[in-house]
Amino acid sequence: MRAILLCLCLWLAAPAAAQTLAQKAQALIDAYPDYLAGYDGSMLIWKDGTMMRFGDARANKPLDELFDKPDIADMFRWPYPFGATGVPAAPEADPGRVRNEAFFQKMYGECRKELPGCAHVTCPFGARLERVPWLPKAGGGLMQATSVNGAAAKLRLVAAELQALGPEFTRYLAPNGGSYLPRCIARTTRLSVHSFGIAFDINPQYGQYWQYGLPGALDERQVHERKIPLVYKNKIPMQIVAAFEKHGFIWGGKWYHFDGMHFEYRPEFLALKAIMEK
């Protein structure tokens, strides 16, 4: 009987972990129905007829390749843990931090980078931005969010829920730490998702960041090669995280390379969660 129960438990647990390429592609299609039409087993098909190679989600890619040259499937390299789980993240696990730049440029609009060093970035789609009041009763200011995929509307829902949490949470949220800003991630030539109007930082005074305290300006590869362990720190209450996650945002505090002030609109992870639960 114990053996039967063990097998049953393993069978029930397997679908949550065994995410196929088709399930990951379907999560994107479900999350972005205005733009994506289908998946043919190797290519992600856009509604305008564009086809993008989805990828093979090869698990043994070097860290620098995973971040600098990911395919679309690599964005799901680590499952995103919703709720009060996944903190701190396992070493090197950054669920949602891997982003295929071509996918986001196609979705939200093309940004231009001036190289070398990504010194200046321009993203000429300001007409798509909406100004979202951010905890106005506490002087939180405004967040700029894209209207594409309803990101601004979702941010408004989050803001209303956070306002209702009560004054004890205000200090973590106001003033805000910034939203839309065309730029590259520090010490990289990778576009920050702040460039697309889908990333939002809460009060940076409480947002812990993985590079704070390192012996110099080091990137992910250098930290990995020198075997410098990252010591996780967080001051953000999980009630705040839950309000964001409910509406399709992910939190940088669930990354090994943690960014506690950072939230970004990535509804594909909520869509994948629904697919796996089904």
User: Tokens at residue 92, please?
Assistant: 């090197």
In contact, 49 and 36? CB cutoff 8 Å: no
CA distance 179 to 144: 6
What radius of gyration, in Å, describes the C-alpha atoms of the chain?
Answer: 19
CA distance 197 to 265: 9
DSSP 213: T
DSSP 256: S
DSSP 122: E
pLDDT at site 18 = 61
pLDDT at site 14 = 35
- Phi then psi for residue 264, to 5 deg, are -140, 150
Query: At 150, is the secondary structure helix, strand, or coil?
Result: helix
The closest of 75, 70, 72, 68 to 118, measured between CA atoms, is 68
Q: Where are the domains of the chain?
A: 19-277
CA distance 71 to 99: 8
Determine how many CB atoms are found less than 10 A away from the CB of residue 112: 10
Q: Per residue in 167-207, pLDDT tens?
A: 999 999 999 999 999 999 988 999 999 999 999 999 999 99
pLDDT at site 186 = 87
pLDDT at site 66 = 92
User: To 10 degrees, what angle do helices 267-277 and 2-17 make?
Assistant: 150
pTM above 0.95, yes or no: no
In contact, 76 and 19? CB cutoff 8 Å: yes
CA distance 248 to 180: 18
pLDDT at site 59 = 82
pLDDT at site 115 = 81
User: Tokens at residue 162, please?
Assistant: 């956070």
The DSSP annotation for 21-43 comes to HHHHHHHHHHH-TTTEEEE-SSE
pLDDT at site 57 = 74
List residues bridging with 249 in a β-sheet.
Answer: 265
Q: What is the separation of C-alpha 212 from the centre of its chain, rounded to a whole number of angstroms? A: 20
Residues of the chain with pLDDT under 50: 1-16
Helix spans in 109-184 (H): 151-165, 170-173
Helix spans in the chain (H): 2-17, 21-31, 63-68, 101-108, 151-165, 170-173, 220-225, 238-246, 267-277
